[in-house]
């Protein structure tokens, strides 16, 4: 159950790596000076450049970001996805037992269907909990029951290097939540599942301390397609936060959002969901206002227009056509 969506994540990982490759389109600095035209508007004068724009004329915020954000954020976001996929692949469902002592568990002991079982009941002989062991020494499973019934409320599975706690839906009897813990009992991952389709609808991963977020993803309850994912990196040189928005019909990425360490918008990228071609990139200043936008041809992905904004993030400073 835990690894049911690995195929989708592997596909998504490949698509994101392809998507996040830096656009290496170069400009020909030997071209003549650009043709400049002016357009008067009620609010301001728009300067339009045709051809190569000298480096010194670039908007300071945009030039800084175009050199650092593209390389650092795209490289780091790929590393984060690789790291997340690796964690998914490491999830194990083997039946190796840990050292949890079955003999110390409370309850009445009996042997049934090649399994050692201890049953704990209340004074009214209602089932409270049962302990299960194959070898009679180490606990495999602990089950908790809904009071007054034999219906399982939660089941905890013990493995060699981890444990998995599952919550059962009382109406369907299906798993609706899982919590995976590391050997040191620190939380590694949470999954929430649709009680009817058994598709994962949300998945949250944590760093080794068990509290720091590593990633969070939401999925469609019917198709299992990923809808939105956020990847966290709080290391000194990390991206801090990258969110991907997906087409619900296909699961393909249609937008990525990069944030700064302070949670401010840094960059957004829009994609054509069918071809995964980049459509536009929007860069933001430290005040959260739009600094610049790059438009791309949806077929060739060639850069076709740059738009630079004034400090208010709305008034156009100048544009560059390619």
pLDDT value of residue 100: 83
Q: How far is CA 56 from the centre of its chain?
A: 38
Which residue in the block uniquely carries the two structure tokens 């480096």?
A: 55
Tokens of 135: 């070898």
Tokens of 183: 């050997």
pLDDT value of residue 14: 42
Residue 25 has a CB neighbour count (10 Å cut-off) of 10
Q: Over the range 120-153, which residues count as b (16 or more CB within 10 Å of their CB) and which as e? A: beeeeeebebbbbbeeeebbbbbbbbeeeeeebb
Reduce the DSSP state of residue 161 to 3 states and report it: coil
Are the CB atoms for 189 and 206 separated by under 8 Å?
yes
pLDDT value of residue 80: 47
Alpha helices in 91-164 (DSSP H): none
Sign of the C-alpha dihedral computed for residues 284, 290, 294 and 296 taken in this order: positive
Mean pLDDT, contiguous 10-residue spans, the chain (322 residues): 36 40 39 42 40 38 41 47 44 42 90 92 90 93 91 92 93 94 93 95 94 92 92 71 91 90 87 90 92 94 94 92 91
pLDDT value of residue 239: 55
In the chain, where the domains are located: 6-94+173-321, 97-158
Give first-to-last CA distance, the chain, whole Å.
50
pLDDT value of residue 230: 92
């Amino acid at each position: 159950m835990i690894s049911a969506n690995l195929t989708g994540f592997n596909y998504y990982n490949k698509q994101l790596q392809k998507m996040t490759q830096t656009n290496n389109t170069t400009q020909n600095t030997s071209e003549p000076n650009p043709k400049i035209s002016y357009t008067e508007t009620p609010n301001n004068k728009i300067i339009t450049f045709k051809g190569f724009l000298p480096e010194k004329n670039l908007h300071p915020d945009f030039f800084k970001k175009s050199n650092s954000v593209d390389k650092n954020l795209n490289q780091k976001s790929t590393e984060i996805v690789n790291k997340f996929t690796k964690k998914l692949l490491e999830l194990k469902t083997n039946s190796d037992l840990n050292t949890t002592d079955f003999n110390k568990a409370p309850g009445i002991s009996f042997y049934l269907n090649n399994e050692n079982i201890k049953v704990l009941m209340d004074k009214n002989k209602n089932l409270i909990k049962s302990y299960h062991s194959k070898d009679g020494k180490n606990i495999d499973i602990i089950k908790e029951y809904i009071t007054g019934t034999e219906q399982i409320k939660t089941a905890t599975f013990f493995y060699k290097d981890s444990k998995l706690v599952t919550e059962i839906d009382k109406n369907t009897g299906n798993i609706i939540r899982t919590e995976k813990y590391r050997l040191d009992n620190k939380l590694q991952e949470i999954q929430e599942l649709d009680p009817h389709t058994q598709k994962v609808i949300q998945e949250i991963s944590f760093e080794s301390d068990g509290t720091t977020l590593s990633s969070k993803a939401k999925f469609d309850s019917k198709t299992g397609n990923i809808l939105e994912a956020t990847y966290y990196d709080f290391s000194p040189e990390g991206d801090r936060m990258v969110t991907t928005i997906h087409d619900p019909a296909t699961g393909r990425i249609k937008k990525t959002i990069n944030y700064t360490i302070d949670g401010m918008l840094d960059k957004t990228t829009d994609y054509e969901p069918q071809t995964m071609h980049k459509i536009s990139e929007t860069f933001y200043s430290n005040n959260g206002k739009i600094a610049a936008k790059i438009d791309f041809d949806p077929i060739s992905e060639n850069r076709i227009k740059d738009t630079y904004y004034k400090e208010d993030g709305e008034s156009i400073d100048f544009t560059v056509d390619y």
